[in-house]
Amino acid sequence: MSKSMRNKMKITSVTALLLVVSIISANVNAKTNVPAELVSQPTKPSDQSTHIMVAQKNPYQMIKEVAGLTFKRFADEQQAIRSNPNLLKNIVREELMPYVNYKYSAFKVIDKNLKNTTDAERRAFILVFREYLVTSYAQVFTLYDKQPVIFSPEKRFEDKKIVAVNTQVVMTGRNDINVSFKVRKGKKTGNWAAFDMVAEGVSLLDAKKAELSSIIRQKGLPYVTELLKKKSSRDIVFKDSKSKNQRVSNSTTKEG
C-alpha cells in the first residue's frame, strides 16, 4: 500500500470519528464475555441542568442531535480551545463520555485474551482505556473545520433490531467520506445505541481491537495498560501548532 493511500485512510478514519464518538452508548447489547457488573450505565454529568440528554428512541434523530450538540460546544468555545487545546479533553469528558460505554469497548479490545487476564488487571485497564479514549477523541476534534454532513433519509426501523444510519462527510478538495453507523435496539429499554462505525468500509472497532489485541496476547494486559497510560497523558495539539513548533525548533537548531 502506498504512503498516499495510507494517509488517505488515516484522514478518512479520524474525520469520521468526529461524528461517532459522541453516540456510543452504554446500552450496547451485542453478545460478549464482559462481566455483568462491569457493563453498567456510564456516569452522567454532575450538573444535569447544563447538559441536554438526547433521546434514543429514533436512531436517525439520535445521531443528528448528538452530533449537532457536540459540534456546537466545540464551536462556541473555539477561542478558548485555541488558547488551551487541552480543554478539548474536558469537552469530551463532559459531552461525549456519558454516552460511551468504555467498559464494553475495553473488553471488546481484550477479546479472546480475557482468560489470560486477572480481575485486577482488567479493572486497571478499563480506567486507563477510558482516559485513552478521552485523549484520542480530543485530538480528533482538532481536525474539525465545520465540514458539512449529509444524513441519508430515514428508513422504517420499527420492526428492526439493527439498522445502519448512513451519512456523508462533504470534504473540500478531496473525495467525500461515506460513514455508516451501526445501531442496535436494546431489548429491555427500547433505546437505540450505536455500537460500531464503518468509514469507507473500515470498522473502527475492529481496527482498534486488531491493533491492541495482538499486543495483549504477546506482552500481556499490564504492558498495554502502561502503554495507553503514556498515550493518555499527551497534550492536545493542533496541526498548525505542530508545524509552527517544528519551524521554531528547526530555527533554533540552525542558530545553535
180-227 pLDDT, tens per residue?
A: 887 777 778 887 777 677 788 887 778 888 889 899 999 999 999 999
* Residues constituting the chain: 256
Secondary element (H or E) of residue 177: strand 177-185
90-115 pLDDT, tens per residue?
A: 988 887 777 667 777 788 889 999 99
109-125 pLDDT, tens per residue?
A: 899 999 999 999 999 99
pLDDT of residue 57: 87
Query: Would you list the DSSP string of 99-122?
Result: G--HHHHHHHHHGGGGGGS-HHHH
Q: How many domains does the chain have?
A: 1
Considering only CA atoms, which of 209, 42, 25 is closest in space to residue 114? Answer: 209
Q: What percent of the chain stands above pLDDT 70?
A: 70
| CATH number of domain containing 111 | 3.10.450.710
Let me know: does 25 contact 99? Beta carbons within 8 Å: yes
| pTM, two decimal places | 0.67
Considering only CA atoms, which of 249, 230, 221, 202 is closest in space to residue 107? Answer: 221
Q: Bigger pLDDT: 255 or 149?
A: 149
Let me know: does 225 contact 106? Beta carbons within 8 Å: no
At 133, list the grid cell.
479514549
> In this model, does residue 242 exceed pLDDT 50?
yes
Residues 6 or more apart whose CB falls under 8 angstroms from that of 65 comprise: 54, 55
Which one-letter DSSP state was computed for residue 94? I
At 64, list the grid cell.
443528528
How many other C-beta atoms can be found within 10 angstroms of the C-beta atom of residue 246? 10
In this prediction, residue 27 has a pLDDT band, given cuts at 50, 70 and 90, of: very low
Q: How far apart are CA 246 and CA 254, in angstroms?
A: 12
Which one-letter DSSP state was computed for residue 38? G
165 lies in which domain range? 3-255
Quick one: average pLDDT of 17-21? Answer: 43
**Helices vs. strands in the chain: H and E counts, helices first:** 9, 5
How many other C-beta atoms can be found within 10 angstroms of the C-beta atom of residue 249? 10
Single-letter amino acid, residue 203: S
Let me know: does 154 contact 170? Beta carbons within 8 Å: no
> In this model, does residue 135 exceed pLDDT 50?
yes
Quick one: average pLDDT of 120-134? Answer: 92
pLDDT of residue 55: 79
Q: Best-predicted range by mean pLDDT among 29-33, 39-43, 117-121? A: 117-121
pLDDT of residue 96: 72
